[in-house]
Amino acid sequence: MSDNVTSGNICDNANDTDRDNKKSSEKVSVDELQSKIDELNEQLLRALAETQNVRKRAEKEKADISKFSISAFAKDVLRIRDNLQLALNSSVENSGNIIEGIKLTMSEMDKILDCYGIKIIETLNKPFDPNFHQAMIEIEAEDKAPGIVVQVMQDGFTIYDRLLRPALVGVSKRGISQSDPADAQSKEEKQ
């Protein structure tokens, strides 16, 4: 019987050792896992911070681009302002020179606008198009069909085929001689 007790104690001691080893390996594994979790959390926080920094830098660059992208255009327009200032400073005696200077300035302005894709809408003697024209008045024009642009009050412009500003125009309407003959007769009788 003593053999059984001794062998039972040995088995129990072996089982206890296995349990202790499992507990210590589980404890080591839990500690290693917690360390790994902490490390991954730190990496995640750093990645999120970097993403925020990149987004903020991109927003600042976008704001700067929109603010300063017109700089080249502004410098070109300043040349025209300088030319107009010279025309204003010119004496009245040189009025012919002033007119010539203004014509040159307009020519330079058109070239600069063209460089930036800004084009004048050709309107005079063309059919009225509400997509590009804004009718300001109707003008009786016996020699023109109704709906033809006969006067341009302000030029319209497109930028790369998109409307920038409509042209302000006067459009022909049917003249009295083209309208009802009874109206023409009544006008003649009143005179």
Query: What pLDDT is stored for residue 29 in this prediction?
Result: 83
Domain identity same for 139 and 174 = yes
pLDDT for residue 150: 94
Are the beta carbons of 141 and 148 closer than 8 angstroms? yes
**If you search the block for the tokens 């007790």, which residue do you land on?**
5
> In this predicted structure, what is the pLDDT of residue 65?
80
pLDDT at 46: 95
Phi and psi, residue 160, nearest 5°:
50, 55
* pLDDT confidence of residue 184: 47
Dig out the tokens for 84 from the structure. Answer: 């107009």
Q: Structurally, how many domains does the chain consist of?
A: 3
177 and 131 both lie in a single domain: yes
The parent domain of residue 23 ranges over 1-69
Measure the CA–CA gap between 7 and 14, rounded to whole angstroms: 10
Residues in the chain, pLDDT under 70: 1-28, 91-94, 175-191
1 and 13: one domain? yes
What's the pLDDT at 188? 47
pTM for the full predicted model: 0.52
Distance CA 81, CA 69 (A): 20
pLDDT score for 82:
78
